[in-house]
Amino acid sequence: MAEFWNTLWRWISGILGVTCLSLIIILGILLNNTFHQETIKSTSPAEPSTQFQEGTDCYFCQERWIGSMCNCYFVSSDLETWEESRNFCASNNSTLLQMDNRDELACI
Protein backbone atom coordinates (compact mmCIF):
# COMPACT_ATOMS: atom_id res chain seq x y z
CA MET A 1 0.00 0.00 0.00
CA ALA A 2 2.88 2.41 0.77
CA GLU A 3 4.25 1.93 -2.73
CA PHE A 4 0.85 2.89 -4.18
CA TRP A 5 0.90 6.21 -2.27
CA ASN A 6 4.52 6.90 -3.33
CA THR A 7 3.60 6.31 -6.97
CA LEU A 8 0.47 8.44 -6.64
CA TRP A 9 2.38 11.36 -5.09
CA ARG A 10 5.06 11.11 -7.80
CA TRP A 11 2.38 11.36 -10.47
CA ILE A 12 0.68 14.27 -8.72
CA SER A 13 3.97 16.16 -8.24
CA GLY A 14 4.92 15.49 -11.86
CA ILE A 15 1.59 16.79 -13.15
CA LEU A 16 1.81 19.87 -10.92
CA GLY A 17 5.40 20.49 -12.06
CA VAL A 18 4.44 20.31 -15.75
CA THR A 19 1.42 22.57 -15.11
CA CYS A 20 3.60 25.12 -13.30
CA LEU A 21 6.21 25.05 -16.07
CA SER A 22 3.49 25.51 -18.70
CA LEU A 23 2.05 28.51 -16.85
CA ILE A 24 5.49 30.10 -16.54
CA ILE A 25 6.08 29.68 -20.29
CA ILE A 26 2.67 31.15 -21.12
CA LEU A 27 3.30 34.10 -18.77
CA GLY A 28 6.70 34.70 -20.37
CA ILE A 29 5.17 34.71 -23.87
CA LEU A 30 2.40 37.10 -22.81
CA LEU A 31 4.82 39.49 -21.10
CA ASN A 32 7.19 39.39 -24.07
CA ASN A 33 4.39 40.21 -26.51
CA THR A 34 3.06 43.02 -24.31
CA PHE A 35 6.53 44.55 -23.84
CA HIS A 36 7.32 44.23 -27.54
CA GLN A 37 4.07 45.97 -28.58
CA GLU A 38 4.65 48.85 -26.11
CA THR A 39 8.22 49.28 -27.40
CA ILE A 40 7.00 49.44 -30.98
CA LYS A 41 4.37 52.04 -30.06
CA SER A 42 6.81 54.24 -28.13
CA THR A 43 9.67 54.13 -30.64
CA SER A 44 7.83 54.16 -33.94
CA PRO A 45 7.81 57.98 -34.41
CA ALA A 46 11.56 58.14 -33.86
CA GLU A 47 12.65 55.71 -36.51
CA PRO A 48 15.27 57.35 -38.72
CA SER A 49 14.59 58.00 -42.34
CA THR A 50 15.78 55.25 -44.63
CA GLN A 51 17.04 57.83 -47.11
CA PHE A 52 20.71 58.73 -47.06
CA GLN A 53 21.91 62.29 -47.28
CA GLU A 54 23.43 62.87 -50.68
CA GLY A 55 27.17 62.20 -50.82
CA THR A 56 27.37 60.79 -47.26
CA ASP A 57 26.74 57.59 -45.34
CA CYS A 58 24.38 59.48 -43.00
CA TYR A 59 20.61 59.28 -42.76
CA PHE A 60 18.39 62.35 -42.85
CA CYS A 61 17.27 63.50 -39.40
CA GLN A 62 13.64 63.76 -38.35
CA GLU A 63 11.79 67.02 -38.74
CA ARG A 64 12.91 69.64 -36.14
CA TRP A 65 16.16 67.73 -35.44
CA ILE A 66 19.61 69.09 -36.33
CA GLY A 67 22.07 66.85 -38.16
CA SER A 68 25.80 67.06 -37.49
CA MET A 69 28.51 64.47 -38.23
CA CYS A 70 25.92 61.69 -38.86
CA ASN A 71 24.22 62.40 -35.52
CA CYS A 72 20.84 64.01 -34.96
CA TYR A 73 20.24 66.53 -32.15
CA PHE A 74 17.02 67.98 -30.78
CA VAL A 75 17.50 71.37 -29.14
CA SER A 76 14.62 72.52 -26.99
CA SER A 77 14.01 75.77 -25.16
CA ASP A 78 11.38 74.12 -22.93
CA LEU A 79 12.13 74.12 -19.22
CA GLU A 80 11.79 70.51 -18.10
CA THR A 81 13.24 68.35 -15.38
CA TRP A 82 16.01 65.89 -16.16
CA GLU A 83 13.50 63.04 -15.77
CA GLU A 84 11.01 64.65 -18.20
CA SER A 85 13.80 65.24 -20.72
CA ARG A 86 15.03 61.67 -20.36
CA ASN A 87 11.49 60.36 -20.91
CA PHE A 88 11.12 62.54 -24.01
CA CYS A 89 14.38 61.17 -25.37
CA ALA A 90 13.36 57.59 -24.59
CA SER A 91 10.06 58.08 -26.40
CA ASN A 92 12.05 59.25 -29.44
CA ASN A 93 14.51 56.34 -29.31
CA SER A 94 17.37 58.63 -28.31
CA THR A 95 19.43 59.62 -25.27
CA LEU A 96 20.23 62.86 -23.51
CA LEU A 97 23.41 64.59 -24.63
CA GLN A 98 25.84 65.31 -21.84
CA MET A 99 28.28 68.16 -22.46
CA ASP A 100 31.19 69.05 -20.23
CA ASN A 101 31.50 72.67 -21.38
CA ARG A 102 29.86 75.25 -23.67
CA ASP A 103 32.50 74.76 -26.38
CA GLU A 104 31.00 71.39 -27.24
CA LEU A 105 27.73 73.13 -28.15
CA ALA A 106 29.53 74.96 -30.98
CA CYS A 107 30.05 71.62 -32.76
CA ILE A 108 26.30 71.09 -33.16
DSSP sequence for 18-35:
HHHHHHHHHHHHHHHHHH
Cβ–Cβ under 8 Å, residues 85 and 50: no
Are 43 and 93 in contact by the 8 Å Cβ rule? The answer is yes
Q: Spell out the per-residue pLDDT of the chain, length 108, in tens.
A: 778 888 889 999 999 999 999 999 998 888 877 765 544 444 444 444 445 455 566 777 877 888 777 778 888 888 889 899 888 888 888 888 877 777 766 665
Q: Are residues 54 and 39 in the same domain?
A: no
Specify whether 10 is located in the same domain as 58.
no
**pLDDT at 69 (0 to 100):** 75
Same domain, 32 and 64: no
pTM > 0.75: no
Are residues 59 and 71 located together in one domain of the fold? yes
55: domain CATH number is 3.10.100.10
6: domain range? 2-45
